[in-house]
Chains A and B, each alone.
Chain A
Amino acid sequence: MNYSERLQNVTVLGAAGKMGSGILLLTAMEMADLSLKPENKGKEYVLYALDISQKALAGLMKYIQGQVLKAAEKKAVALRKVYADRKDLIENCEIIDQYVKDVMNIIRPVTTLESAYESLIVFEAASENPDLKVKIFSQIEKNNQNKPWFFTNTSSIPIGYLDKEAGLGGRVLGVHFYNPPAVQRLVEVIKASATLPELSEFVSQFIKNLRKVEVPANDFAGFIGNGHFMRDALHGMAEVGKLSKEMPFVDAVYIVNKISQDLLIRPMGIFQLIDYVGIDVCQYIMKVMAPHVKDEKIHSPLLDQFMELGVKGGQHSDGSQKDGFLKYEKGRPVGIYDPDKKAYVAIADIAAKCDALIGPMPEGFLPWKSAVGHPAKDDFFKKYFMALKVMDSLGAKLARDYAIRSKAIGLKLVSDQVAFSEKDVNTVLLTGFFHAYGPINDYLN
């Protein structure tokens, strides 16, 4: 069975979710592109969008249609060639319209698992619950006669565990897209020890066709992305713990969030990132990782405390940010949660005194948005960190400690053989987290 045949019948599990909908979109377009090749004329391509909620599926179809339209508008130049033999399609608008129809015709929204029993590939993007994943995989495996390939979007559960528990005989591979899959270029690919090589070969081709960046990671809870992020977040929360002994909690959160964004020139501060991913999701990922990590404690009492208070972060279905550690207005942080008062304190009221504590910005500072596209980026960061290195302020000290810790986390991922190289760690942070520089660098040496 070649690449194109393998993609003739696919199921996406959890298709209406945040990750599932993106994976469905990408897969649907890849399948449609294959179906439109002259050699595949007449072959049937079927993509089951499987989710438990009819209502969510209705919303999903609307979302997919809008996204395919946008994508078609962008690739109109190529689509004119694809439909060159269709004399009835002359104008861009007719061609774009036809492409949207052709993609939508492949997708079948369904609510019952039986559809997956005939698929050749099962893309799983259900919730991050090991027992649930094992249960679904076993059931499909038992009823599907095609010996299907299972691709799981888990960001933390070891693939070998799923393989063993569900009895998949090596027909499972971790294919971890980043949020949102339609936009983010990074895909972490995780082989279990028994994973069959043909699965990885197929996925490499798939990722290449989607014009994304593949980074291999070892089958170790959290892999590279969350392996770094969770430890990075724990460091930030520990710093808040220390600072809180001398100042109010909200001031400490403000300071650590600010230095992890501005002084480290990252796209967002660590507490905003935790909110973006979701406090609940972070807590869950740590819970999944913890038993597999022997030499470190992957657990945060602060996350537990916030969960108990019902402050969870994450995103609304329209993609806007829910309140978490921070309160948001139009996507910008405007407040910080005080767990004692159970209320948000306005950032405007504390910013001035905290900024004074942080101290001045290092010479040559540029915000992330400007630095990320700097034509001589490496030189810029060398000079920037040189300036940061000799500064005596609280902010500079916290930022240096943060950068050093971030590098140590990266190096440990390599020495623990979670990542195959330092470059892979940096690639994950650069493409998956939009950092302007990799954590493993010599800027502070």
Chain B
Amino acid sequence: MRKKVYLVGGYNTISMGTGRKEFSPKKERPGLEEYIREAGQGVLKQIGGAANVDECVIGNFIASRFNKQANMAGFFPYIDEGLTFKPCTRVEGACGTGALAVLTGIKSVLAETADVVLVVGVEVQNTVKAIYGADILAAAGWFKERKDGHAYFFPGKFSDRAGAYYEKFGKEKTRKAMARWYVNAIENARLCPTAQEYHNTTADLLAQGMAEPNPKGFVDNLNVFDCSKVSDGASGIAAVSEEGLKKCGIDKKDAVEIAGFGQVEYDITKPPKDPTKLETTAAGVQKALQMAGITKDQLATVECHDCFSIAGIMAVEAIGFAAHGEGPDFVSAGHTARGGKIPFNTTGGLMGWGHPTGGTGVHQAVTIWEQMTDRAGKAQIEIPKDKPFGLSINMGGDDKTLGVMVYKKI
């Protein structure tokens, strides 16, 4: 890093959708603007108000279809009048949008065009039924593949990956690990009041996770518990310089430092070389760790992109915690659980906390900031002194647009 950059003032709205007690598909719900405003104001309150903000970045995947809304940057002055006439930008990289938003903020600080950048990520997806939402989310893939794709396009893509993985490394052990991944996700979410699965009371999660996939109604190799849900939500955080910290009157101990990042891209028109691997993820992680000058063994926690349980397991391998084919053993041994060797997704991740697509990358940054500044409440884990680093992986499409960040506890 050419210059120190910090993240401060993180805020998450509730991840709203099925599972939350207050959610009913028939009841009217807050819209895009309410979520943006809540998350934006949540950050502004912690950084001394809009006057301190130099730039704004909003991450949103596809409000143009879920909410018939574009020109998203225009919502910043709606958050606070004080943001009127400030430079505002909207970025998009499918489900990897959130990390792109945070990285854009970080780069503005690095480029010295700003000392304080307000970053918000948002998606409101419960406006349509899941079967139509699948159409919309399919835009994260190449549209020319849509016709031959599954009705549930992305579950279909990762079902194919799971099928390939079963074939190569064994179905039974993989399915068991996927169910264990689900258990971890829900148990962590139960500790976080904003999580979509916070109210989950299922007694035997493992048995639920082991449910046999039903190809007639859904996809061949995944059940619904292997998938993240449809979510409405927004998250906000500020990327600031040393000067920015001073300007906002924030103590360094309330900030997390960005130690490195890896932003990488893969050709959207090409299928993965090996469907049992997340190679773009691996490239992004390698780049980020290299930039931070650390190894995976110095990580205290990881927020990975578990849009599907199989993607979580493949991410474990992509980081290098387990060899190719041994991710399931690593997960089943409990190493990724909150008390394990390397706790993953401590507030539930995409499967447990929720996946408001354009907001997810920002939510991951907020979660690590919370863990590194002792703000995670019941979900708090211990960050060992000799392992002061955290990692987040945000993925757009089928391992295409990757935003990876390494964070350091101060």
Chain A residues within CB distance 8 Å of chain B: 73-74, 76-80, 87, 90-93, 96
Contact = CB atoms under 8 A, between A and B. Distances in A.
Contacts of A80: 150-151
A77 B217 contact: yes
B147 interface: yes
Contacts of B216: 77-78
A91 B146 contact: yes
B135 interface: yes
Nearest to A88: B147
Contacts of A79: 151
A178 B348 CA distance: 45
Contact of B147 (A78, A90, A93): A90
Contacts of B151: 76-77, 79-80, 92
> Which bracket fits the contact residues of B?
10 to 19
12 contacts: A73-B131, A77-B151, A77-B152, A77-B215, A77-B216, A77-B217, A77-B218, A78-B216, A90-B146, A92-B131, A93-B135, A96-B131
A80 B217 CA distance: 12
Q: Tell me whether chain B's interface is mostly helix, strand or loop, or mixed.
A: loop
B264 interface: no
Given A77-B217, A80-B150, 9 more contacts: A77-B151, A77-B215, A77-B218, A90-B146, A91-B146, A92-B131, A92-B134, A92-B151, A96-B131
B129 A73 contact: yes
A93 B150 contact: no
Interface in B111-161: 129, 131-132, 134-135, 138, 146-147, 150-152
B150 A77 contact: yes
The 8 residue pairs across chains A and B that have the minimum distance between CB atoms? A91-B135, A76-B151, A77-B151, A92-B135, A90-B147, A73-B131, A76-B131, A80-B151
Interface of B: 129, 131-132, 134-135, 138, 146-147, 150-152, 215-218
Contacts of B138: 91
A87 B147 contact: yes
B165 to A, nearest CB: 22
A376 to B, nearest CB: 15
B84 to A, nearest CB: 38
Contacts of A76: 131, 151
Contacts of B218: 77
Contacts of A77: 150-152, 215-218
Nearest to B156: A77
A78 B216 CA distance: 7
A90 B132 CA distance: 12
Interface core residue of B129, B132, B151, B215 (most chain A CB under 10 Å): B151
Contacts of B132: 92-93
A74 to B, nearest CB: 8
A92 B139 CA distance: 13
B218 to A, nearest CB: 7
Nearest to A79: B151
A96 B135 CA distance: 12
A78 B134 CA distance: 15
A242 B82 CA distance: 80
Nearest to A83: B147
Nearest to B147: A90
Contacts of B147: 87, 90
Nearest to B136: A91
A99 to B, nearest CB: 12
A83 to B, nearest CB: 10
B398 to A, nearest CB: 18
A80 B138 CA distance: 15
